[in-house]
Structure 1
Amino acid sequence: MNFIGGSAFPKQSDIRVRQADLGRDGTVSTIGMARWLEDARLRVRLPRFEQLVGAGGFTPFHVLLVSQSVERLAPVTRVDRDIQVRTGVRRVGRSSFTFVHAVFAGGKEVGSGEATVVLHGAAGPLPLPDELIADLTDLQMPELSQSAMTRPGDERRQRDYYPHFTPLCARIGDVDSNQHVNFIALATWYDEAVAAFTSKAIEVGEGGAVPDLPPWSYRIQYVGEVTYPGTYEVGLLVRSFDVDSVLYELGVFSGNTCLGIADAVGARGELSARSLETYLTGRLG
């Protein structure tokens, strides 16, 4: 993403690296960075809208994510200092708006992301009130070169599109105040599916070391609610690969119903061209 310079962001959140943010290689994982972006969004104050809600002037609602993206651009470790998430608003629509983030460590950009949000009422998405639009306009960024996330084609919602599946069960600890599985927990499911795929492709035996090849970027679209209790599957297809990286397409399914879609890019590592081509063409189940 091209952000014109970190100083253009209207909000800034200081970050401390926590042990839970680290991946197996000792650097901050993509999921850990996604948590930072969530924390930064929660710190943004919307005074006019908050006053409206506090006065009972707005109908009951839940805050839901329509989509999000996160990308690690450089490694961050526990010894790094001056870590900040800088936040602004990229787009304001009639019923949704999009946060945009850049992560800096020691003045260097090490990550980025976006999140599109809707206010959801009993009958569906709610029009944004004037008070919220005014607050968001105060946070709006200059014109950015990054285009909006495009919605995947309908074929991505079809179960038979994916040649590899990983079964997963919702856990009660994943359920948030909206009474569904939290979007951060869902992101870990995609990590789990990639790990299961790489283990199978490299033929790791029982008790063997699982390759450490988690994605460094995600672009996620939320289609339906994942609830507890429930048993689900994450489908995976290798879209393309080169010498260094693999582009995955993933989908969360309950039976034949698609509840979420993601694009992910991760390291190729020990994955052979032969194993990747097998899942690229769908010859293995």
Structure 2
Amino acid sequence: MSPISSSVFPVQCDIRIRQGDLGRDGAASTVGVARWLEDARIRVRTPRFERLVGAGGFGPHQIILVSQSAERLATVYRTDAEVQVHTGIRRIGRSSFTYEQAVFAGGERVGGGGATVLNLGPAGPLALPEELIADLTDLSVPDSSETATTRPGAERAQRDHYAFFAPLRARIGDVDSNQHVNYLALTTWYDEAVAAFTTVAMDEDGLVPDLSPSSYRIDYIGEVTYPGDYEIGVRVRSFDVDSVRYELGIFGGGTCLGIADAVGARGVLSPKSLGPGGPR
């Protein structure tokens, strides 16, 4: 995706960097960036649609997240000033719409991402009302996609696609007001799976170097609930001298509940430990 100028984003909000946003290197983590993007999306107002819902003109519905992306492009420390998230709407569909976002610190673009959300009713997807379409149109930015997003293949939902599995147990603190594991908590699960993979690949005890992903593209397929025991599948799609491209999936038993693509630093990971697919 080609970056677009901050001037074309209709909504900007200031971000306060919190301790929980920082990674092991003392800079904002990719999960922290994802949290900033969520904070900014929550602040976007759709006044026509809000009036329609308030007047009872639109029936029961949920706006649910079906995918998100987040990436770090530069290091951001807690002492950095003037961190802002700029937000706009990139695509408007029949029942869904897509945010595009960019993070700036001191005038430099340091991250970005976006999310696609679905308007869901009791019986399935609902067409976006005219009022919401008008609000979203006011927030539109140029579509900066260079190519259409490639949908993951069906093999990504199969356990035997993955070379390594990391077990994880849902924690009550992961559960949000929708009574399932929050999508930001799920992002930390992917981080944990990559760390577990790194530990095995390096064949070392104790704390290994921080090779957590700098970017994620995540699709949500099913609901992750509490209590529950889950596994994160990890497969190395490719690697070069600097980076590793991962394919990941969350499984509850034999059922795939979400998939992700991630890019992390390679560090000292050897070619032998990374291929084919990583350690088994």
What TM-score do you get using the length of structure 1 for normalisation? 0.95
> Which digits, 9 at most, give the CA deviation of each residue in 1:231-280, with x for residues without a partner?
11000000000111000000000111111010000000121111112534
Shift of 1:119: 1.8
Aligned to 2:43: 43
> Which digits, 9 at most, give the CA deviation of each residue in 1:33-56, with x for residues without a partner?
000000000000000011111111
Q: Does 1:225 align with 2:223?
A: yes
Partner-residue secondary structure (3-state), 1:271: coil
1:257 partner amino acid: T
2:184 partner amino acid: I
Deviates more, 1:168-177 or 1:228-237: 168-177
Partner-residue secondary structure (3-state), 1:279: coil
Aligned to 1:270: 268
Aligned length: 280
Give the Cα separation in 2 of the matches to 1:176 and 1:224: 15
1:115 partner amino acid: A
Distance 1:114 1:148, change over 3 A: farther
Aligned to 1:216: 214
Distance 1:170 1:148, change over 3 A: farther
Give the Cα separation in 1 of the matches to 2:238 and 2:182: 29
Q: How does 1:8-47 map to 2 (within 5 A)?
A: 8-47=8-47
1:150 partner amino acid: T
Give the Cα separation in 2 of the matches to 1:125 and 1:148: 22
Give the Cα separation in 1 of the matches to 2:143 and 2:253: 42
Aligned to 2:194: 194
Aligned to 1:151: 151
> Which digits, 9 at most, give the CA deviation of each residue in 1:210-243, with x for residues without a partner?
3211000000011111111111100000000011
> Which digits, 9 at most, give the CA deviation of each residue in 1:121-162, with x for residues without a partner?
212221111111110000011232444432200000001100
Give the Cα separation in 2 of the matches to 1:67 and 1:147: 17
1:252 partner amino acid: I
Unaligned runs of at least 5 residues, structure 2:
none
Give the Cα separation in 2 of the matches to 1:99 and 1:57: 25
Partner-residue secondary structure (3-state), 2:275: helix
1:246 partner amino acid: V
Partner-residue secondary structure (3-state), 2:17: coil
Q: Does 1:178 align with 2:191?
A: no
Unaligned runs of at least 5 residues, structure 1:
none
Q: How does 1:82-101 map to 2 (within 5 A)?
A: 82-101=82-101
Give the Cα separation in 2 of the matches to 1:240 and 1:47: 45
Shift of 1:61: 1.8
2:23 partner amino acid: G
Aligned to 1:237: 235
Partner-residue secondary structure (3-state), 2:80: coil
Give the Cα separation in 1 of the matches to 2:63 and 2:145: 27
Give the Cα separation in 2 of the matches to 1:204 and 1:278: 20
Match 2:254 to one of 241, 244, 256? 256
Q: Which runs of 4+ in 1 moved over 6 A?
A: none
Q: Does 1:74 align with 2:74?
A: yes
How much identity, in percent, do the aligned residues show? 68
Distance 1:149 1:172, change over 3 A: farther
Give the Cα separation in 2 of the matches to 1:251 and 1:172: 21
Partner-residue secondary structure (3-state), 2:260: strand
Contact 2:13 2:86 in 1 (8 A): yes
Contact 2:91 2:143 in 1 (8 A): no
Distance 1:116 1:148, change over 3 A: farther
Give the Cα separation in 1 of the matches to 2:100 and 2:155: 28
Aligned to 1:124: 124
2:42 partner amino acid: L
1:158 partner amino acid: Q
Contact 1:62 1:178 in 2 (8 A): no
